[in-house]
Structure 1
Amino acid sequence: MNLRRITTILTVLLALAPISFGLNFLFNPLGAASGFGIDPWPTGNAGGYYLVKAGRDLFLGLNLLVLLALGQRRATGIAMALVTIVPVFDMVAVLTHGGSVATALGIHGLTAVIVAAVAVLLLRERPLVQVNGAELPKSEARIN
């Protein structure tokens, strides 16, 4: 399996993850909140936070999938690099609001590192060109 295919699989998985989190916050807000790392969670009108969290996560994942589906791998890499800030802010929120360091670093910090690594892989890819029916990196293609 080549690096491009591995990067594609990782990108799809990293896009589906926030979509699943968003759907969980949308349909099971209290259950989803328990795994985030901050306790207690908002109640009453402040519970509107769950909808905000759901919308944010759905938006992030869907944007990455759309860019990837359109073949915009460089744009996907740039978006992925920007998305890295979301788990960083989640980590800071957990650390500054009474959550455990293990949850902050183990869930949110590790997620930020993985997202950043996949972004770097996407940004390092070279465009492919068609040569005699085969797709080759532009640097390897010899057009006669």
Structure 2
Amino acid sequence: MLTPIAYGLAIVLDLLVVVIGARFLLQPEAAATGYGVPARPGAYLTIKGVRDLSYGILGLALIAFVGPLAAAWFMLVVALNPLGDTLIVLRNGGTKAVAFGIHFATAVLVLVSAGLLFAVR
């Protein structure tokens, strides 16, 4: 029972990161607004899009081709991204609701996913 939940959560999270990355590439201003801090169009938004898109694809590849242990370590490490995003939003005038309700909550969910993947290895 735990294995499908662990894999399912990891796959959903990786797909969401792919969608976020694609949104930053296709609709950068709207994606930046959703991120929680204002941003001017330009390289920053494209960089974030490529970063998120590649992290999501890498997470899916690890699940598909390597297994739960590698995917668990990956999730543990990439949890630093939404934790950092929390601080970025707070330090740059974003709301606490966005910082904690989106970014910090995402970090917690990614850490839960890592824990589940470690449990099924």
TM-score scaled to structure 1, two decimals? 0.81
Structure of greater relative contact order (alpha carbons < 8 Å, 6+ residues apart): 2
Find the aligned partners of 1:31 and 1:42 in 2 and give their Cα distance: 11
Instruction: Give aligned pairs, total.
Output: 121
Match status 1:52 vs 2:50: no
Determine if contact 2:21/2:48 at 8 Å carries over to the other structure: yes
Structure 1: state its 5+ residue gaps.
127-144
Aligned position for 1:35:
34
- Displacement, 1:42? 2.2
Find the aligned partners of 1:88 and 1:14 in 2 and give their Cα distance: 15
Displacement over 2 Å in runs of 4+ = none
Find the aligned partners of 2:93 and 2:47 in 1 and give their Cα distance: 21
Aligned position for 1:9:
8
TM-score scaled to structure 2, two decimals? 0.96
Find the aligned partners of 1:4 and 1:54 in 2 and give their Cα distance: 30
1:118 alignment partner AA: S
Determine if contact 2:6/2:120 at 8 Å carries over to the other structure: no
Match status 1:23 vs 2:37: no
Between Structure 1 and Structure 2, which shows a larger proportion of strand residues? 1
Find the aligned partners of 2:97 and 2:73 in 1 and give their Cα distance: 29
Find the aligned partners of 1:59 and 1:49 in 2 and give their Cα distance: 15
Over the residues paired in the alignment, what is the CA RMSD in angstroms? Answer: 0.9
Find the aligned partners of 1:8 and 1:72 in 2 and give their Cα distance: 10
- Displacement, 1:71? 4.0
Structure with higher Rg: it is 1
Aligned position for 2:90:
95
Structure 2 counterpart SS, 1:76 = helix
Structure 2: state its 5+ residue gaps.
none
Aligned position for 1:120:
115
Aligned position for 2:69:
74
Aligned position for 1:108:
103
Find the aligned partners of 2:66 and 2:84 in 1 and give their Cα distance: 29
Between Structure 1 and Structure 2, which shows a larger proportion of helix residues? 2
